[in-house]
Amino acid sequence: MSTTSTSLDSPRMLPESVRQKIEAYIPRYPSKRAVTLPALHIVHSHFRCVPYQAMKEIAEILEIAPAEVADTMSFYGFFPQAPLGDVRVWVCRSISCMLRGGDELLEHACKKLNIEAGQTTSDGKLTVEFAECLGICDHAPAALADDGRAYGPLDEAGVEKMLEELKKGPVPPESL
Amino acid sequence: MAAFEPVLSRNWNNPDILSVKTYESKGGYAASRKALTTMSPDNVVDLVKASELRGRGGAGFPTGLKWSFLPKDRKETFMCINGDESEPATFNNRYLVEKDPHQFIEGILIGCYATKANTAYVYLRFEYIKAIHILEQAIAEARAAGHLGKNIYGSGFDLEIWCHRGAGAYICGEETGLIESLEGKRGWPRIKPPFPAIEGAFRKPTVVNNIETLACVPHIVERGADWFKSMGTPKSYGPKLYTISGQVNKQVCVELPLGVTTNQLLEDHAGGVWKGRKAKAAVPGGISMGILKKEEFDIPLDFEEIRKTGCLGLGTAAVTIMDDQTRIIDYLYNTTRFFAHESCGQCTPCREGTGWLYKTVKRIRSGGGRIEDLDLMSHLANNMGITPGTTICGLADGAAWPIKNALAKYRDELEDFIKHNQNPDYKITAGQDAISKGQSPLPTNTSMFVPGIGLAKSLSN
C-alpha cells in the first residue's frame, strides 16, 4: 500500500519547515483536527504525494489517530500516496467539455504521452488525470494544471501545445 | 421596465479592482461601514429578509430567514462560505472571487455582522488556484485597511476570514458535507435536523452561504430592499449571474435580472448554437436540475417557473446548450458517470443506485440495451434521494433527475436508440454487467488510492 516503511519507529520524514507550516494553521480553528486538510495540502505540495509515514506525523501534530488522517485523505480524490509528476494536469470530462470533445482530448493527451489517465510520464514530468467539472467551462473543452494554469477551448493541436508547455515545469501563482 | 444595471459584475473589466484602494475609490466598503456603524445586526437581518434575497447556491432558500434561525442566546457563531462550486457547468462564483474579491469580502463582513459571526471560513474548491491566491491577498489587504480584524470601524465587531481549500469532492458543496470537511473529516453529509443554524461547524450555530448570495448583500444595504425587488420575477428577485456553455458560439458568464429565458441567454449572450446548428435541449442550472427541451426555452429561469417543466429547480443557473446532433444517451452517459463518481458512498441507495444507473446507461450506449432497462432506470431513479426519503442529502435527487426528465421527455429517442443499436457481440454476464466492455478511456483497475477516484467508486464497482 505504501512505498514508505510503516513501522512505528520510522525516521521522521516531515522537515521542520513543513511542521511549522502545519502548526501555523492550528490557531485558525477551534479543533486541531480541522487542520487535517490544510496539513495534507502542505505535505502534498512538499512531496507531491502523501506517504503513510507523513500521515502518521500529521496525526501526531494534530493529536488524532493516524487512521483518522488516512480516512480523510482517502476520501478525497486529491492525495496520491506515490509521487505525481512535476505538473499534474486535469482534462475535464463533464457536460460542457464533453459536448465539445473533452473525452476525446483526454484520450489524445494520454496517447501523445503514451500513458493512461491517472498515470505519470516515465520522465516524471507530467501526470494526466480526468476531472469532473473544473469550473472553467468558459474555456470548454478545458484543462487545468495544478499550478493554476487554465487551458481552453482546446483542440488536438492545443492539447499538444499545452503538454509541451507543461513539461517545462510549474509556474508560481504570482504569474497567473 | 427600467434598463437593467449590472451590479455584481460592474467592476469585472477593471483589473485594478483587486486592490483595496481602487475598490474603496469606487465606493467599495461604504455599505459595510454603513451597516456596522449605523445599523444593528437585527436591522441588517430584517433588511435582507425584506429584500427576499434567496440563496444563489442551488436550493434558493431565503437568506434572511436562514439567518434568523440562529438561536437568540448563542455565544458563538461561525460563518461558512460555500465556494466548492462543483456543479458541472458552473463558474459564476469563480468570476466573483477572481474579478472582484473585495465585493465578496464586503459581503462576508456584512453577513457576519448580521449573524454575529466572528470567524468566517471560505471553503473554496482546490481547483480554484488562481481565485484562492487572489482572495488571500485581498483578505490581507482588507485587514491592513481596517475592514477586518478587531473593532472594525470602531463598531466593537471583530472578524477574521480564513480560506479553507477543498480536495476535489463534489459532495462538499452540500452544506453539512462542507462542514464535516472543514472539521477535517470525510465530506459525509449529516442528517438534518439539527440544522447548521442550531448545530453546525464545531457543534456551534453556523450559517452556510453561497458566494454570490453574500455578494448581493452590500448592494442591498446600499440601495435598499425595494431596489432589489424591482428586478426579477415574483418570488425570484434581484440580479443573477448566469453562465452559458456547451455547444454555443460564446461561453460566457452574464449578469441579468432573475427570470430570463434560455432563448434570451442563447441568442442575446451566447451568440447562438455553434456550427450553424439548431438547439435540441439545455441543462438549465447544472446537471442535477434535469433537462429542458427546445420547446421549453421560453420558460423563465427563476426559482419557481422552471419547476413547471419537470426540472428540479434553478440550481446554479448554469445553462449548458446541446445542439441537434447530440444524442440523449450521451447526455445520460455523462450525467450518470458524474454522479457514480461523485456519490460520497454514505447512503446505499445513492452509492449503489448511481453506480447501477451508470452501468446500465453505459451498456445501452455500447449496444447491449433492452427496452426494459428504461423501466429499471426509472425504478432506480424514483427510489433514490430526499424526494422518496431514502438518502441523507440531495445528491441522489440530482443524479435521478436527468434520468427522470430524459425518460419523460425523450423516451421515444431512447427506445429508438436501443432498437437500432444492438451489438451482437455484447454479452451481459451476471454480476458484471459487462462493464469492461464500455467505451471509457479510463483504466478499469482503479482503486481508492488512484488520484481522482474516490471511495465511492471502489465501493460501487
Tell me which chain B residues have a C-beta less than 8 angstroms from the C-beta of A42: none
Give me the domains of chain A, ranges plus CATH numbers.
16-75 (1.10.10), 87-169 (3.40.30.10)
The answer to whether position B219 is within a domain reads yes
Phi then psi dihedrals of residue A60, to 5 deg: -65, -45
pLDDT band at A10 (very low <50, low <70, confident <90, very high): confident
Cell of B316: 446554479
Asked if residue B10 is part of any domain, the answer here is no
Nearest-by-Cβ selection for A37 from B91, B160, B184: B184
Give the pLDDT score at B21. Answer: 98
Q: Residue A8's pLDDT is what? A: 54
Same domain for B247 and B388? no
ipTM for the predicted complex: 0.94
Q: Is B455 in contact with A74 (Cβ distance < 8 A)?
A: yes
The single-letter DSSP state of residue B325 is: T
Amino acid symbol at A109: A
Single residue among B167, B201, B230 that ends a domain in this structure: B230
Chain B interface mutation, best of A133, A147, A155, highest count of B Cβ atoms under 10 Å: A133
Q: H/E element holding B241?
A: strand B239-246
| Residue in chain A nearest B164 by alpha carbon | A38
Average pLDDT, chain B: 92
Residue that is last in its domain, among B177, B201, B230: B230
Cβ–Cβ pairs < 8 A, chains A and B: 195
pLDDT higher than 50, residue B244: yes
Residue A5 has pLDDT above 60, yes or no: no
Which residue of A45, A47, A137, A159 is the best one to mutate when testing the B interface, meaning the one whose CB has the most B CBs within 10 A?
Answer: A137
Q: What secondary structure letter does DSSP report for B203? A: G
Residues of A in contact with B184 (CB under 8 A): 31, 33-37, 62, 64, 68, 72
Q: Residues B237, B226: one domain?
A: no
Say yes or no: B339 and B289 in one domain: no
Same domain, B278 and B344: no
Query: What tens digit of pLDDT does each residue of B139-165 get?
Result: 999 999 999 999 999 999 999 999 999
Chain B hits for A100, Cβ within 8 Å = 246-247
B293 in the same domain as B253 = yes
Task: Please write the tens of the pLDDT for every residue from B10-42.
Answer: 999 999 999 999 999 999 999 999 999 999 999
> Would you state the pLDDT for residue B449?
36
- Closest listed residue to residue B218, CA positions, set B82, B26, B405, B354: B26
* B67 closest CA partner among B172, B161, B206: B206
Report yes or no on B222 lying in a domain.
yes
Q: Mutating which of A52, A99, A129, A154 best tests the B interface, going by the most B Cβ atoms within 10 A?
A: A99
Query: Does the pLDDT value for residue A7 go beyond 70?
Result: no
DSSP letter string, B290-320: --EEGGGTTSB-STTGGGGGT----TT-EEE
| Residue where a domain stops, chosen among B230, B250, B281 | B230
CB contact under 8 A, A35 and B184: yes
Cell of B333: 452517459
| pLDDT tens-digit series, residues B48-107 | 999 999 999 989 999 999 999 999 999 999 999 999 999 999 999 999 999 999 999 999
CATH of the domain at B248: 3.10.20.600
Regarding whether B151 and B25 lie in a shared domain, the answer is: yes
Is B274 in the same domain as B367? no
Question: CB–CB of B94 and A136 under 8 A?
Answer: yes
Contacts with B125 (C-beta within 8 Å, 6 or more apart), sequence order:
A135, B83, B84, B85, B86, B165, B166, B168, B172
pLDDT of residue A9: 62
B116-123 average pLDDT score: 98
Whether A2 and chain B come into contact, CB under 8 Å, resolves to no
What pLDDT score does B455 carry?
36
pLDDT, tens only, B341-389: 999 999 999 999 999 999 999 999 999 999 999 999 999 999 999 999 9
Q: B268 and B203 share a domain?
A: no
CATH, residue B403: 1.20.1440.230
Is the Cβ–Cβ distance between B375 and B415 less than 8 Å?
A: no
Closest approach of B252 to chain A, Cα-based (Å): 6
Is residue B274 domain-shared with residue B397, that is, in the same domain?
no
**Rounded Cα–Cα distance for residues B49 and B53 (Å):** 7
Q: What is the percent of chain B where pLDDT is above 90?
A: 90
CA distance A31 to chain B (A): 8
pLDDT over 70 (residue B437): no
Three-state SS string over chain A comes to CCCCCCCCCCCCCCCHHHHHHHHHHHHHCCCHHHHHHHHHHHHHHHHCCCCHHHHHHHHHHHCCCHHHHHHHHHHCCCCCCCCCCCEEEEEECCHHHHHCCHHHHHHHHHHHHCCCCCCECCCCCEEEEEECCCCCHHHCCCEEECCCCEECCCCHHHHHHHHHHHHCCCCCHHHC
Q: What is the pLDDT of residue B2?
A: 61
Task: Tell me the chain A residues in contact with residue B133 when contact means C-beta distances shorter than 8 Å.
Answer: 148, 173-174, 176
pLDDT digit string (tens) for A33-64? 999 999 999 999 999 999 999 999 999 999 99
Same domain, B177 and B36: yes
In tens, the pLDDT along B391-400 reads: 999 999 999 9
The predicted structure's pLDDT at residue B454: 36
Optimal mutation site among B241, B316, B449, interface A, most CBs of chain A within 10 A: B449
A11 at the B interface (CB within 8 A)? no
Nearest CB to A41 within list B128, B165, B318: B165
Give domain status of residue B380, yes or no: yes
Q: Judge whether B4 lies within some domain.
A: no
Q: Looking at the 3D structure of chain B, how many domains does it have?
A: 3
Is residue B88 assigned to a domain?
Answer: yes
Q: What is the CATH number of the domain that holds B138?
A: 3.40.50.11540
Q: What value does the mean pLDDT of chain A take?
A: 93
Query: Please, where are the H alpha helices in B150-288?
Result: 175-182, 211-223, 225-229, 262-264
Q: What is the pLDDT of residues A142-160, one digit of tens each?
A: 999 999 999 999 999 999 9
Nearest residue, CB atoms, A77 vs list B165, B204, B454: B454
Kindly report the CA angle at B146 between B32 and B139, in degrees rounded to 5?
A: 85
Same domain, B261 and B337: no
Does residue B61 contact residue B82 with C-beta atoms inside 8 Å? no
pLDDT value for A3: 45
Q: Do B145 and B183 share a domain, yes or no?
A: yes
What is the rounded average pLDDT of the residues A149-175? 96
Q: In 3-state terms, what secondary structure has residue B432? A: coil
pLDDT by residue (tens digit) across A89-140? 999 999 999 999 999 999 999 999 999 999 999 999 999 999 999 999 999 9
**Domain presence at residue B7:** no
What is the predicted pLDDT for the residue at B429?
Answer: 56
Q: A157 to chain B, minimum CA–CA distance in Å?
A: 19
H/E element, B161: strand B160-165
- Residue B410 maps to a domain: yes
Domain interval for residue B76: 15-230
pLDDT for A171 beyond 80:
yes
